[in-house]
Chain A
Amino acid sequence: MAKIYLSSTFEDLKSYRAAVYHTLRQMRHDVVAMEDYVAVDQRPLDKCLADVAECEVYVGIFAHRYGYIPPKDNPQRKSITELEYRKASEMRKERLIFLRDKDSEWPLKFVDAVTKQGENGALIDALREELGGEHCRGVFTSPDDLARQVSVAINEVQQKWTEARLARQRQESFAGSQREAGRAGQRVTGQPVLDVAGQFHGRDAEQGELGRLLQEKSARIVTVLGRAGIGKTALASKVLGGIEQDRWPAATQPLRVDGVVYLSTRTNGVSLERLFLDCADLLPEDARTQLLKAWSSSQISLEDKAERLLKALDQGLYVILLDHLDDVLNAEGQITEPGMRRFLERSLAAPRGARVLVTSRVPLALDAATARFEKQLAITQGLSTDEGVAMLRELDPNGRFGLRDLPQEQLARAVERLHGMPRALEVLAGIKKDKRFRSLDSILDGFYQEELVDELIREGYQRLEPGERQIVDALAVLGRPAPEVAVEFMVCPFCPGLNVDGLLARLTDIYMTTYNPLTSRFSLDAIDQDYALLQLPRQGEYSRSALERRAAEYYARLQTPRELWRTMADVEPYLLEVQHREQAEDFEGAAQALSRIDAGFVVNRGNPEALAAQYARLQGKVRDKKLQALLAAGLGVTRNFLGPLEEAVEWLRLARDLAREVGDKETERQATGWMGDACRRLGRLEEAVTYSREAVRLEESLACARDSFALLLSLALSYRGDFQEAIECCQRLMQSPAISDDLDLQGRVHDGLSLAYLGMGRFQDALAHARQAAKRYEEISARDPLGYVRNVLGMAHLGLGQLPEAQQSFEMARRIGQEDCNPRVEGFGLFNLARL
């Protein structure tokens, strides 16, 4: 909603003002106009200018009258209408100017040049001339024409604002990612799922039982079970909120907890990756760094990663909430994400470690051996009558809904009819707000009694105004707490000019949405989210599919360029775009978005397994061969890091062939180059050299400056024993203009040279280049290549018979490999040490 000042002369433009005023009000904007205080040309100047100063948008309508010139405090003798415009300009307001078409008919009595009102004729002509410039949004001929043009212009302004706010949000997310890169020693991480402070009602016995179970030594996982809307998440949030403050539920001994992690499928998702990143932030800096390195290692199995996570959490008492876990369970009750499944299995088997608190509608499927470490708390009943009555009264703290002061028995009857279901009571309170003078019984009588709770949830949604419903739909499709700008962006094409902030305020007021002031995000109860999604038509102009596409576009706007990525938080908008496009069955779009994700970055910092799964999920669903090639290349690159290497080669070969078929030289180059690298790692050196050579040839034809496969070619040549050619390859790169200010490239060239000289037995040269490479890698903190080059240094020393120096270098390589969870480097160091 915008605050709009409507400026014009009065008598001549009455019907025009009325049309604009009416349209803007219909669009639910706050319109300030002279009609609000005195509908005449001679209005108070001070008041007018103060109103202009307070508005966000100035709409100026000009015909052929200059307007009233106040005699006092007006040394320049300008009309109020012109002064209003000058004020808006001075204050840099958004100005939308509309001029009456000078060629269309207009009553002569309203033309100053004809009626000879002093100099007014000349003044209005001069002003019109000036206004015809950059801020002029249109020329109008009739009231309806004007109203339509103003409405379009206001929508454009709103879109511009939305874009600006999206840019701000993008910056905030980026700043958040930067902060995330340096967090350690937190006590609470993740996104709390519900802010229940002061709103939670009763359930004392369940709180006590949950606290007791979380303290029970034999319980590794505590599952809160119950139907939708019964308050599982609220109960978990209430208990964990207390534990954060060292306040345990009554009847349990206070126990110091070192950290609490909140994960929910309805906020940031439940995955091993999320768990790793959030748990790492609970640990001291050193332990955090170690854990993040373990996570980012492409050479450690998921099982080992899960093990390391548990070990890291072994030194303290940590509680991890996995909320709405049923969203990621399959029909058999097993977690679909392999990483999380392994973590939970390990967690159950471990003698110590974190306590996991799960909320779910259905039980987890666990085998008999581990099931005994799970404790369940089933919530089968709603709130007690007294608790429900207290809740209803608290939902109307000021008595505005007519609930607070109702007699106890009326409230008690409603609570019993709704079986004390907290969400149903909230919906009832929301309905009562609009039907203040109807009794609770008469409201509830209007529904099918056998399924009263479900009916009420349905009514909670169905009774909403179209605009309100669209906002609920937007939040449901976004599927996670979202800021206002996200909702605004979502609804904009379907309902331009919708007063989103006003409607969100009302929806929060009637308990349809929840606002978290700490995160400035709005969210829906899961039960309402599910219901809203079911109501949306699958296809059509306004449909689930259209909204999913819009959500994808929203996340596309939040994406930051690759060179600014620091953590996986920077990749998240890309992944969410892919997810929403997939939901919309826009597989081509999903593949396109996926191809923009740098697989190498995810391999080093995130969950390459999940990325590989995403590539695989889209295989066969994309018709465009160029996209098919990109998907196959992505899968091949992730497999090159994760193994099996043979599979990597096959995917990369497919990518290369498809890319060739459609003439996509860049994808062909990438696929061919990585295929060479995979072959080198496999020891298929003839193929490695052939493919690498081919990639370099393509590189030359494309004039690529970066990502040179020439270095990988030099490695393949050295592996094959063609040392002279490997050296020539590096020397060519040494002469490239790009190398002068690129320490990484310089390091890699020296690295390649050292390996080639080593193979030739020219150990002094190998030593010199390895030292140069190590120096550069150290300068840019490139630990991974530094490990390899330390190993080469050791071999050069060994070749020169300098055994202590060799031992020292191999030890360093081994240590880097071990610390960075790179078993390849660690293994090289160990083997070469064994050769001493």
Chain B
Amino acid sequence: MKLAEAARSALAPLGAVEALPVSKFCDALVALKSGDRAAAARSLATCGLALLETADLFAPQDLLREAEALARAERLNNVAAEARAAQDRLLRRRNAAPPQNR
């Protein structure tokens, strides 16, 4: 949590594309801590989608998977579908070869 908050402090003033996913990641962690799983699902899905727009932050497959699972559990069908679509998009982008280990 501390690391994510520090990342948000560093990136937010720059106004660049990376600011949104980092901020949403922090929001998701706060929501999970407070037990607000619906908010966490929404934030993680937005974070994952925004991460598709940058190559300098690690790919969001795990985040999108978790967002989808949380959304399904909370019956947030739209969010779950969005997270699923983003995962598919991510896989389609890796069209050259399947991931080697992970």
Interface residues of A (CB under 8 A from B): 299, 301, 643-645, 680-683, 685, 715, 718-719, 721, 723-724, 755, 758-764, 788, 791-792, 795, 798-801, 817, 823-824, 826-828, 830-835
Contact = CB atoms under 8 A, between A and B. Distances in A.
B57 to A, nearest CB: 6
Nearest to A720: B53
Nearest to B98: A761
Given A299-B14, A764-B100, A832 B55 contact: no
Interface in B57-102: 57-59, 89, 93-102
A77 to B, nearest CB: 87
Interface in B37-51: 50
Contact of A800 (B18, B58, B100): B100
Contacts of A830: 3-4, 6-7, 10
A763 B99 contact: yes
Contacts of A791: 56
B52 interface: yes
B32 interface: no
A828 B53 contact: no
Nearest to A818: B10
A493 B21 CA distance: 64
Interface in B1-17: 1, 3-4, 6-8, 10-11, 13-17
Contacts of B4: 830-831, 834
B11 A823 contact: yes
Contacts of B1: 834
The 6 closest A-B pairs by CB, nearest first: A683-B17, A827-B10, A761-B99, A830-B7, A827-B11, A834-B3
Given A830-B7, A832-B57, A834-B7, A682 B16 contact: yes
Contact of A763 (B13, B18, B100): B100
Contact of A831 (B7, B93, B97): B7
A165 to B, nearest CB: 48
Nearest to A817: B10
Nearest to B12: A827
Contacts, number: 119
Contact of A759 (B16, B17, B50, B59): B59
Contact of A835 (B14, B15, B58, B94): B58
Contact of B58 (A645, A724, A795): A795
A721 B17 contact: no
A764 B102 CA distance: 12
B13 to A, nearest CB: 7
A831 B57 contact: yes
Given A721-B93, A723-B96, A763-B99, A828 B56 contact: yes
Contact of B102 (A643, A681, A682, A799): A799
Nearest to B91: A761
B45 to A, nearest CB: 16
B97 A760 contact: yes
Given A681-B16, A683-B17, A834-B4, A760 B96 contact: yes
Contacts of A680: 17
B74 to A, nearest CB: 23
22 contacts: A643-B14, A644-B15, A645-B16, A683-B50, A721-B52, A759-B94, A760-B93, A761-B98, A761-B99, A762-B97, A763-B100, A795-B58, A799-B100, A801-B101, A817-B10, A824-B14, A827-B11, A827-B14, A830-B7, A831-B11, A831-B25, A834-B3
Contacts of A788: 56
Contacts of A685: 53
A446 B50 CA distance: 82
A37 B90 CA distance: 99
A8 to B, nearest CB: 77
Given A682-B16, A683-B17, A833 B3 contact: yes
Given A823-B11, A834-B7, A683 B101 contact: no
Contacts of A831: 3-4, 7, 11, 18, 22, 25, 57
B88 to A, nearest CB: 12
Contacts of A834: 1, 3-4, 7, 25
Contacts of B25: 831, 834
Contacts of B50: 683
B16 to A, nearest CB: 5
Given A823-B13, A826-B10, A827-B22, A762 B100 contact: yes
Given A299-B14, A758-B55, 18 more contacts: A643-B15, A644-B15, A718-B55, A761-B98, A761-B100, A798-B58, A799-B100, A800-B101, A826-B10, A827-B7, A827-B8, A828-B18, A831-B4, A831-B18, A831-B57, A832-B58, A833-B3, A834-B7
Interface string B14-37: 111110001001000000000000
A835 B22 CA distance: 11
A761 B95 CA distance: 9
A832 to B, nearest CB: 5
Contacts of B56: 755, 788, 791-792, 828
The interface centre, meaning the residue of B3, B16, B52, B56 with most chain A CB atoms within 10 A of its CB, is B56
Nearest to A826: B10
